[in-house]
Amino acid sequence: MENATLIKVNDLVVEYAADKKTVQAVNGVYFELRKGETLGLVGETGAGKTTIAKAILGILPDPPAKVRKGEIEFDGQDLLKLSGKKMSHIKGNEISMIFQDPMTALNPIMTVGKQISETIRLHNKMSKAEAGVEAVKMLELVGIPGERYNEYPHQFSGGMKQRVVIAMALACKPKLLLADEPTTALDVTIQAQVLDMMNNLKQELGTSVLLITHDLGVVAEMCDRVAIVYAGEIVEIGTAEDVFDRTAHPYTKGLFQSLPALESTEKRLKPIKGMMPDPTELKPGCKFYDRCPYASEECKAEGMRARDLGNGHLVLCKKTEEVM
Amino acid sequence: MARDAKSNKPKSQAIEIMKRLAKNKLAMLGLVVIVLMILVAVFAPWIAPYRFEEQNMEAVYLSPCKEHLLGTDKLGRDILSRLIYGARQSLRIGIFSVAIGAVLGTALGAVAGFYGGRTDNIIMRILDIYQSIPGMLLAIALAASLGPGVNNAIFAVGISTIPVYSRIIRASIMTVRDKEYIEAATAINASDFRIITRHVLPNSFAPLIVEITMNIGNSILMAATLSFIGLGAQPPSPEWGAMLSDGRNFMRDYGYLVIYPGICIMASVLSFNMLGDGLRDALDPRLKN
């Protein structure tokens, strides 16, 4: 745990312009990721998880997306202030991304080998043949026989495609891997295989991983630390043990309660009541106010501050004592 | 162990497509006719019984006979020979005018479709204005202002078909643009040019290829029209449309003067269209078996 910080996101605010409204997608997100560590970013659909990842990589579509403020410090430099040229050195080389749906993340008319070697050649001065050899190595690293270099994506199954996508993302041995729901589109057995493989590769290459997911099971298996995202804010962040065993935010608690227990037969799921607030008209104060069983008047007040519960366990709630 | 990546080339996609195309009888018929046309055009001097401009004043308006299989025209020129040489003109016109239109149209459409927003608006609105002038009229105006001649006809026909290609490529690029592999390509830091040429265009080519084959036929027809009204190929050059035009005054007495060039135009246009239809089916990967 004494490792150096690799990336530090500070007060990141991202907005989308939609007609006349602005969608406040990310509102002051802060977190740190150390070298070799895996941080899970957990939250519902639309909470802003993917936006955070894309902001780090600088591939938010602008317009409509706009980074309003904040710093993303990666290896000592602020990515948001970097020139296009320097940023292009980092994109795909030092930071790379795995996309959610392996079915569409590969170009259907290019052989998988070519797609991997393209990534390699974009960042390394290599001949085609050398890059080809490298790409075959990457394929075999993710457990695909090198003979399949010249096959097209449609000749691969879903799990295999995701392996190819991972091979592409890892081809340049990045320091940081942004994995955007890498297993959501896969069935459970394949999911386990892919996660296993990612874990091994991570250890082998010493890559830090930002794992975006809404699957708490995946988090438990993969992550050292967890950040819970709600309406564009990180409401709770801490080590996996702290967040799972000493849950401090009512939203996190609700998430855990909504999981059906395996031991008892449950007739009904226990969802969190209500809906996520409309991101075009967020109120000041606690975003979870409307759905929170612990809410009281003071939660409406402006100026929510994260509270440190020790050991880097931060929570954005005034009622933590009652929750725990 | 890293094996040699090149050691096991897959069956190339082109071969796969050809195989699927081969199952389509009409398309194959079209292809055969087109290949025949190309062969005839290439070997015209050896195949044709006479030179195309060879006149024989003693044998004008001959009906089809042993010496002149398809008869002769008002200057005693052998119609069959002129049709054979005419294949050269028509193919040249069809292919080059489509090439001009397709290259320029694709470039404009690709830029418009990929960048969207204001770029798209500017390009497409200009093309809208452009398209509000009927294609034939535009071609006539261009050909008239450039002066008659085959090359100018090619240019005129090519330019007037630009918007068609732009629209097609723009539409299919817009469906490809938001695919995740394009985002993935941005994420590995591929340049816009590279993304357009390597990832976007190849994925949106299928409708364009079909349009190109279909349009070769149309362009031949358009050029024939231009020649018919005297703006295309000039005498004595044997272009099918020009021959049609020459013969129209004598249509009642010597029908074969217009029938044979007409058949040639029809056959070539039809062949290209049938091939285009077949290609469309063959290129659709969902029909893969």
Query: Are A122 and A168 a contacting pair, CB within 8 Å?
Result: no
Contacting A residues, span 111-150, partner chain B, CB-CB under 8 Å = 111, 113, 117-119, 122-123, 129, 132-133, 135-137, 140, 146-147, 149-150
Mean pLDDT confidence for A210-232: 86
At residue B2, does pLDDT exceed 70?
A: no
Q: Shortest Cα distance from A123 to chain B (angstroms)? A: 9
pLDDT classification of B8: cutoffs 50, 70, 90:
very low
CA distance A320 to B191: 48
Give A165-200 pLDDT, tens digit per residue: 888 888 888 888 888 888 877 778 878 888 888 888
Say whether pLDDT at B289 is over 50.
Answer: no
CB contact under 8 A, A93 and B189: yes
Highest mean pLDDT among A174-188, B180-194, B262-276: B262-276
Question: How far away is chain B from the Cα of A24, in angstroms, using its nearest Cα?
Answer: 22
CA-to-CA distance for B102 and B215, rounded, in angstroms?
Answer: 10
Question: Which residues of chain B have a CB within 8 Å of the CB of A107?
Answer: 181, 185, 199, 203
Q: Do A101 and B180 touch (CB under 8 A)?
A: yes
Work out the average pLDDT over A205-213: 87
Cβ distance A137 to B2 less than 8 Å, yes or no, reads yes
Q: Chain A: nearest CA to B19, how far in angstroms?
A: 18
Q: Which residue of A has its CA nearest to B203?
A: A109
B2 touches chain A (CB under 8 A): yes
Q: Contact B158/B98 with Cβ under 8 angstroms? A: yes
pLDDT at B13: 67
CATH 3.60.20.40 fits B41-50+65-287, yes or no: no
A198/chain B closest Cα distance in angstroms: 19
pTM of the model: 0.72
Q: Going along chain A, which residue ranges are E strands?
A: 5-18, 21-34, 38-42, 65-74, 77-78, 95-98, 176-180, 208-213, 225-230, 233-239, 307-308, 314-315
pLDDT tens per residue across span B136-157: 888 888 888 988 888 888 888 8
- How high is the mean pLDDT of chain B? 83
Q: How many helices (H) and strands (E) does chain B have?
A: 13, 0
**pLDDT band at B122; cut points 50, 70, 90:** very high
Dist CA B218 CA A123 (whole Å)? 46
Report the residue of B1, B3, B7, B196 to disrupt the A interface, i.e. the one with the largest count of A CBs within 10 Å. B3
Residue B261 has phi, psi (to 5 degrees) of -60, -40
Q: What is the mean pLDDT of residues B68-90?
A: 84
Number of other residues whose CB lies within 10 A of the CB of residue B12: 10
The confidence score (pLDDT) of residue B32 equals 93
Condensed to tens digits (0 to 9), the pLDDT of residues A237-254 reads 888 888 888 888 888 888
Mean pLDDT of A291-307: 76
Residue A162 · residue A194 · CB < 8 Å: yes
* CA neighbor of B97 nearest in space, from B193, B250, B222: B222
List C-alpha distances in Å: B288 to A45, B279, B281, B283, B284: 35, 13, 10, 9, 7
Substitution target in A96, A103, A109 with the highest count of B β-carbons within 10 Å is: A109
The DSSP secondary structure of B43-75, one letter per residue, reads THHHH-SS-TT---GGGTTPPS-SSSTT-B-TT
**Domains by residue range for chain A, with CATH:** 5-94+177-184+207-323 (3.40.50.300)
Is residue A33 within 8 A of residue A5, CB to CB? The reply is: yes
Note whether A105 contacts B181, CB cutoff 8 Å.
yes
Ranked by mean pLDDT, the top range of A92-106, B66-80, B161-175 is B161-175
* A147: nearest CB among B8, B179, B183: B8
Q: Using CB atoms within 10 A of its CB, is residue A244 exposed (0-12), middle (13-18) or buried (19+)?
A: middle
**Mean pLDDT on B106-120:** 89
> Quick one: closest CA in B to A97, which residue?
B187
Taking residues A279-291, report their average pLDDT.
Answer: 79
Q: What are the extents of the domains in chain B?
A: 41-50+65-287
Q: What confidence category does residue B33 fall into, taking pLDDT thresholds of 50, 70 and 90? A: very high
pLDDT of residue B271: 92
Reported as a single tens digit per residue, the pLDDT across A92-126 is: 788 888 887 777 888 888 888 888 888 888 888 88
